[in-house]
Amino acid sequence: MRGQPDLPAAHSPAWVVQSWLSFVIAVTAMALGIYCLPDGGWVKGFLAMGLLFTVGSSLSLAKTVRDLHEGTRLAARIDEARVSKLIAEHDPLKPAI
């Protein structure tokens, strides 16, 4: 039977740095773009609130997807353990009652 690894593969330090840099650059560029708009404060405020809501929603979605994936992985491991236990306890030579 194929077993699942206990720990997920770790991300390389380069991947972590690249992920954080891309996030910081994207938010900074968007904030700078909102700041430099040739429009009134209400429009800038509305766009800034939209930016904050988008960032917060993205982080929440990423956490939810990660938690769902980890939950299905745990459920699969529990099901696999139950099947392994049933197979180990099964005696094919035992007469049926």
Kindly report, residue by residue over 28-60, the tens digit of the pLDDT: 999 999 999 998 889 999 999 999 999 999 988
String of DSSP letters for 22-79: HHHHHHHHHHHHHHT-SS-HHHHHHHHHHHHHHHHHHHHHHHHHHHHHHHHHHHHHHH
pLDDT bucket at 24, cuts 50 / 70 / 90:
very high
Q: How high is the pLDDT of residue 1?
A: 47
